[in-house]
Amino acid sequence: METRKVYLDNSATASVAEEVLSAMLPYFRESMGNPNSLHSWGRDARRAVDEARESVSALIGASPNEIVFTGGGSVSDNLAIKGAVWSAKEEKKHIITSAVEHHAVLDTFKWLGKRGCDVTFLPVDEYGMTSPESLASAIRSDTLLASVMYANNEVGTINPIAKLGGICREKGVLFHTDAVQAAGHIPIDVKELPVDMMTMSAHKMYGPKGIGALYIRKGIKLTPLVHGGGQEFGLYSGTENVPSIVGMGAAARIALKLHEAGEARRVAELRDMLLDGITARIPDSFVTGHRTERLPYHASVCVKRVEGEGMLLRMDFAGIGVSSGSACTSGSLEPSHVLLAMGLDHATAHGSVRLTLSIDTVRDDIEYVLEKFPPIVETLRKMSPYKG
């Protein structure tokens, strides 16, 4: 088999879809107006922002004035959590999250924990799932907010969001969910779902980077992170990033079409082919995360007695883009907080590899990976310091 280029790191970021790019382009030059200007250029830009807000709200069953455009998923997470804490009455300062959140949530909670909030980090099960029971037992009379991710970015596990949100609603606790990995990939309807705030990011659903949205249920008050001209209902000041907002709107419309076309089923079939193929061909490898309550495009495995980085680099050399859970940050080789919270030991957690598919992934790509991956592991194991 000849060499190909196979990008399987779509949970880190995905390519902008062709239609997204063509929708964005006019807003850099011809229709470059500031939506706050009263002339025709401004009105054109305002119309484009309004249309994008309609599209993003339609994707999740919200109404357009419940959607705030922000600078991305991290900004939306910060706005939801800090915004809720800062606008709360003094007495309510207990906040809850899970141990496996993205750092945009986790580090926001840790920061608030040093500034007067009492923080509970919920444990997860062996799949990285947060149980409704553990959330229910953590809620106190002074609990203000709980934030539990819709689906985990490292292991793909989908949480029981309806139940988690239902518990919060019953007890009068605000519920936020980081749906960056889920939105646009699995159907979400906030009319049915008891969530108060939900984070989305365009670049994880074939839109551009640096643009996201926060769904804020009508009636919920937040304090903004950024003050200024009062754009985005006063919650995210600054001249609107019109091309990117338009791009996110286009991505939302594409996502709805993909749902209808059964894209989730197509990609889940390839995902299972990958997971089954890897675990069958590589001895001492296993799937991380839940097998069925799982994002359709998300595959993740641990390979024992091999370093994730070693696999990543050799896969890259073979033309395959993946990520390893054991990203080496600032010189210290700390394994993923997600895998450790799931109960894996350090050595095993270091052997994690994530392969995330997209609309562009085809069967030949999966076959190529299944051909290249096992011999890479074999070579690395021969060199490995681990005795097993």
Ligand X SMILES: *Cc1c(COP(=O)(O)O)cnc(C)c1O
Work out whether 298 is an interface residue with ligand X (CB under 6 A).
no
Percent helix / strand / coil, the chain, rounded to 5: 40, 15, 45
User: Quick one: which of 16, 17, 148, 149 contacts ligand X (CB under 6 A)?
Assistant: 149
Task: Quickly count: other Cβ atoms within 10 Å of residue 30's Cβ.
Answer: 10
Closest to ligand X by CB, 78 or 326: 78
In terms of Cβ atoms closer than 10 Å to its own Cβ (0-12, 13-18, 19+), residue 133 is exposed
CA distance 230 to 239: 9
Contact assessment for residue 339 and residue 289, using Cβ atoms and an 8 Å cutoff = no
Question: d(Cα 283, Cα 300) in Å, to the nearest integer?
Answer: 15
Residue facing ligand X at closest CB distance: 73
How many of the other CB atoms lie within 10 Å of CB of 98? 29
Measured from the CB atom, is 74 or 352 closer to ligand X? 74
What torsion, rounded to 10 degrees, do the Cα atoms 248, 254, 258, 263 define?
Answer: -60
Q: How far is the CB of 78 from ligand X (least distance, A)?
A: 9
117 is catalytic: no
CB of 79 to ligand X, least distance (A): 12
Is 157 or 326 the residue whose CB approaches ligand X more closely? Answer: 157
Q: Does 212 sit near ligand X (CB under 6 A)?
A: yes
8 Å CB contact between 56 and 202: no
Site string for ligand X, 52-91 (x = CB under 6 A): --------------------xxx--x--------------
Cβ 212 to ligand X shortest distance, Å: 5
Binding mask 177-206 for ligand X (x = CB under 6 A): -x-xx-------------------x-xx--
**Residue selected from 153, 177, 285, 336 as contacting ligand X according to rule CB under 6 A:** 153
Closest approach, Cβ 76 to ligand X, in A, equals 8
Task: Answer yes or no whether residue 208 interacts with ligand X by CB under 6 A.
Answer: no
For helices 242-261 and 263-281, the axis angle rounded to 10 degrees is 80
Binding site residues, ligand X, CB under 6 A = 72-74, 77, 102, 104, 149, 153, 178, 180-181, 201, 203-204, 212
Provide the annotated active-site residues: 328
